[in-house]
Amino acid sequence: MLLTPEGGLAGVFVSALLAATVVPFSSEAVLFAYLRLHPEQAGAAIALATLGNTAGGMTSYAIGRLLPAKAQRKLEPRTLGWLRRYGAAATLLAWLPVAGDALCVAAGWLRIAWLPALAFMAAGRLARYLVVAAL
């Protein structure tokens, strides 16, 4: 099943979803390998990788939303100042390894508007996968 284009697309989605969590995983390598085998599926593969990775990022965002807002006054580190300053636009960098996971959680914790955060997260992740596909 995984050797078919459709089965491989499911693998691209799952790998991208897992990579957007704290699970150390390289969705870029999976996408790259899939596109080497099925270049005609580039559009679908990039879309599913973006969707899966964005869903994982929004899961981290939701976890951040579950943290008590009142804890912000006591625990907010100085480094989150730029996230407050740039708001949802800062989540454009959520594709970065390790830091991106923390950024998604922090965006939820700071109660940054979810719809703009979703849009910026998706845009950053799409750009990353387009670069991988171009390679």
Task: Note the pLDDT tens digit of each residue in 57-93.
Answer: 999 999 999 988 666 555 556 657 888 889 999 999 9
Residue 99: is its pLDDT beyond 90? no
Helix, strand, or coil here: 70?
coil
CA–CA distance, 130 with 135 (Å, rounded to integer): 9
Kindly give the residue spans of alpha helices, DSSP state H, lying in the chain.
5-19, 27-37, 42-66, 71-75, 81-86, 99-109, 114-134
Q: How does DSSP classify residue 107? A: H
CA–CA distance, 125 with 51 (Å, rounded to integer): 9
Residue of 55, 18, 35 lying closest to 130 (CA atoms) = 35
Task: Say how many C-beta atoms besides its own lie within 10 A of residue 8's C-beta.
Answer: 22
Q: How does DSSP classify residue 124? A: H
DSSP codes, 1-14: -TTSHHHHHHHHHH
Task: Note the pLDDT tens digit of each residue in 24-37.
Answer: 788 999 999 999 99
Could you tell me the sign of the dihedral formed by the alpha carbons of 26, 98, 64, 104, in that order?
Answer: negative
Task: Note the pLDDT tens digit of each residue in 40-51.
Answer: 999 999 999 999
Residue 5 confidence class, pLDDT cut points 50, 70, 90: low
Q: How many residues does the chain have?
A: 135
